[in-house]
Structure 1
Amino acid sequence: MKKSNLIIGLFLAFAACAPKEDVAGGAKLGSQAAVLLQKDGNKTADFASPIAVSAQATDEGTQKTVASYQVQLFKENNTNLVATVALDETQVAKYNALYGTQYTLLPEKYLSYSKVLNIKAGNVLSEEGTAKLNISSELKDNTPYMFALRLNSVSGAVITPNTQLLMVTFEKIKGQIKNTLAVTRDEYLKIDNGTSDASDIGDTFTMEGLINVQKFRGPDDRGEAGISTFMGTEGKALMRFGDNGVDPDHMQANGQDIGVKFKLNQWYHIALVIDNGKTTAYVNGKKVSEFNKSGALGEFFVGRSYSGGRGIVARFSELRLWKTARTAAQIKDAMYEVSPRDGGLFAYWKMNEVKNNKIPDVSGNGRDLIMQGQSKKAGRQNIKLHDEDKGVKINEE
């Protein structure tokens, strides 16, 4: 089927079921028509399917692109056309009433967006528009906001029903878990910089992150030495659960059992600081172990050590490597988030975003994570995030 015929079919289908209030001018068969597209995935704008965006409280003072959009015609136009887009403050209340939600209308003063989109003669797509949000300290933490962009008009065209509203939700997250990454024993993550190497971090550094273990090893499920690996470098500095002589639900950090019995399906923040020949371990912001031992990093993995039989079934969030020895106060106060612009960061993987099948290193140091299969047969995996932990906090008792 030709592209133009496909768009005509979609246009007729939308027109057949659209409420009258969404029809601009009333379309006639064969006339020019337009729809608003959500640029990500080229999806038609849909009132029922908002774009969900979040930011951390540490992002305050920055600007974030929260939506990209275009106007699409159902056939090529012979002249230059102009489309206009505007905020529609009435739609948030309608959405809340229809779906039983409690979104707060995002004030316009925090938004900047493309209000005019030009469509050049001979094209079916307009130039791209963007909506950007200023992450202000005035926006309430952990409060779901919403705004709506409406395709108001397109010169020389009618707007196809039910395709003119782009809904966007936003939340500034502080002190709680948002999206997470789940892995199985068949998967692991490595730094995707060609070498998977972190040796240039030096001999003073900190590894930390949030972890929720879904399954420890057991008598009938020993794997290799009952080990489930968190992260680090085999033989240098590593955090893992279990080993010969270490219970499967105890953590071995830099070669030593830190004396904590971990529970399944519970979030923990774990940090390992190596500084001046000394290793210090923290769990949920509390120092639990300290001993004399130096360490280093080399080939750095998350969920793998030595071989493919030492994987883990767990969910991760907020993984960080620091080229400094973090203090007890710094660890305690920043379990859920830190500023990506902190100069002490070596790498920072928030686990709340996937780009080109990679977990971005938001520190800007270019050490993105890529998922791999533990065996050659398993091959490269696709990264999928989960939001079942939204709003959860660790148990700090």
Structure 2
Amino acid sequence: MKMKTISVIASLTALLVLASCEHEDTDRQHYDNKLFISAASLTDELLIDETDSYSRDIVAAVAKPESHDITVTFRLAPELVDNYKKAYYDTSSIALPDGVCRIDEPTTTILAGNVQSSPVSVTFENVLELDRNQRYVMPVTIESVEGIGGVLRSAKTCYFLFRGASLINIVVDLSENRAWPEFGNFDEVQDMYAFTMEALVNPTTLNKTISTVMGIEDTFLIRMGDSGVDPSQLQVVGAASSKLTDESLKIPTGEWTHIAVTFECIAQNQSEVKIYLNGELKKEGIFYLNSINFAIPHSNE
């Protein structure tokens, strides 16, 4: 009797589900179609270097097309700088000064049946008059919309950032990685009697026995650490057991350090090696070598 009761209930449930499915509108979407700024990132960083003017485009979009046009108007929103600073943990940026940024035609349209608008152009000028030591931000937000119910709050505003250009603006993360040149028949790197090697490093951690900076093993190598040497201590090693290191050559983590190593042959089988950190001479010594050959092919040693 219990099994029959369960079967009847199950059958009734199945009928109710089928009836529900029959009356469900298959074209109905289970979300609100909202407007948003279409961009891979809502922040765009521009450099104060040699360019006095920039132009950037903003595009509005919806998740699915509508049967009518949607009109969108953007505006500059310097009053939203504090929102940016809180969202991106930036305490030092200030609003871009008046006269640097403008939007000549702030209104655009998403045509019926489309999902993206034509671009709105944001123009920046007199950029070289900005202070290179100051970070600036200009928020641009959606001011008004006609033809759709709402705007996605998290993608309503984008931010244009300005900062002074550095000598190095792009760096590479070499954690668990390596890179090397393919010199081929480049004879200039063979039997070098004088040269300088430079690197700008910012280690995240220094907990390995040896961390290589650059060079060739058993030829001429800049590295940190060694057996019996602190993992953060810089060391220059070469052929014939040549080695130069000192406790003053500790490299900090979490900050940039400029490393420069010079090599110069000063007599037969005698070359002077000097180590500089952030431009300051820290250690010098003699390697009993005439020259260094950097044309040795790379190997996965």
Which residue pairs with 1:127 in the alignment? Answer: 118
Counterpart residue number, 1:150: 141
The 3 A distance-change label for structure 1 pair 95 and 39 is closer
The alignment status of 1:105 with 2:95, answered yes or no, reads yes
Amino acid at match of 1:37: I
The answer to whether the 8 A contact 2:108-2:118 is kept is yes
1:148-203 superposed Cα distances (whole Å, 9 cap, x missing partner): 2122345544542636731416252578999976665xx11326xxxx53565943
Deviations 1:58-98 (A, max 9, x none): x3436567x76421135424566553322123333666799
Partner of residue 86, structure 1: 75
CA distance in 2, matches of 1:64, 1:299: 45
- What does residue 286 of structure 1 align with? 280
- The whole-number CA distance in structure 2 between the counterparts of 1:124 and 1:102 is 37
Work out whether 1:61 is the aligned partner of 2:83: no
- Residues 249 and 91 (structure 1), Cα distance of their counterparts in 2 relative to 1, 3 Å cut: closer
The corresponding residue for 1:40 is: 40
AA of the residue aligned to 1:104: I
Length, aligned pairs only: 253
Paired amino acid for 1:149: V
Shift of 1:272: 2.7
**Structure 2 matches for 1:92-241, cutoff 5 A?**
92=81, 103-111=93-101, 115-129=106-120, 131=122, 133=124, 136-154=127-145, 156-160=147-151, 162=153, 165-168=156-159, 170-173=161-164, 187-190=176-179, 197=182, 202-203=188-189, 204=195, 206-212=197-203, 214-217=205-208, 226-241=209-224
Deviation at 1:270, TM superposition (A): 0.8
1:265 aligns with 2:248: no
Task: Summarize the alignment of residues 326-365 of structure 1 with structure 2, pairs less than 5 Å apart.
Answer: none
8 Å CA contact 1:279–1:294 kept in 2: the answer is: no
The Cα shift of 1:132 comes to 6.0
* Contact preservation (8 Å) 1:77, 1:122: yes
* RMSD (Å), alpha carbons: 4.7
Change (3 A) 1:215 1:197: same
Local SS of the residue matching 1:90: helix
Letter in 2 for 1:61: T
Deviations 1:330-383 (A, max 9, x none): xxxxxxxxxxxxxxxxxxxxxxxxxxxxxxxxxxxxxxxxxxxxxxxxxxxxxx
Partner-residue secondary structure (3-state), 1:250: strand
Structure 1 gap ranges (5+): 12-33, 42-49, 218-225, 308-397
TM-superposition CA deviations, 1:8-51 (whole Å, max 9, x none)? 6144xxxxxxxxxxxxxxxxxxxxxx51324116xxxxxxxx62
AA aligned opposite 1:110:
V
* Aligned 8 A contact 1:232 1:300 in 2: no
SS at 2:177's partner residue?
strand
Q: Which moved more, 1:107-116 or 1:174-183?
A: 174-183
The 1:257–1:96 alpha-carbon spacing in structure 2 relative to 1, beyond 3 Å, is closer
CA–CA distance in structure 2, aligned partners of residues 124 and 75 of structure 1: 6
SS of aligned partner of 2:253: coil
- What amino acid is the match of 1:51? T
Contact residue 70 and residue 126 of structure 1 kept, 8 A: yes
Structure 1 residue 263: deviation in Å?
5.2
- CA offset digits 1:220-262 (Å, max 9, x no partner): xxxxxx4221233445543112346866443233523143441
CA distance in 2, matches of 1:86, 1:285: 47
Contact 2:206 2:232 in 1 (8 A): no
TM-score for both structures, normalised by structure 2: 0.60
Whichever residue aligns with residue 84 of structure 1, its letter is: T
Q: Which letter does structure 1 place at the counterpart of 2:215?
A: G
> What fraction of aligned residue pairs are identical, expressed as a percent?
20
Classify 1:252/1:102 alpha carbon distance in 2 versus 1 (closer, same or farther; 3 Å): closer
Deviation at residue 209 of structure 1 after TM alignment: 0.8
Give the CA deviation at 1:297.
Answer: 4.3
Unaligned ranges ≥5, structure 2: 1-26, 190-194, 266-270
The code of the aligned residue for 1:89 comes to P
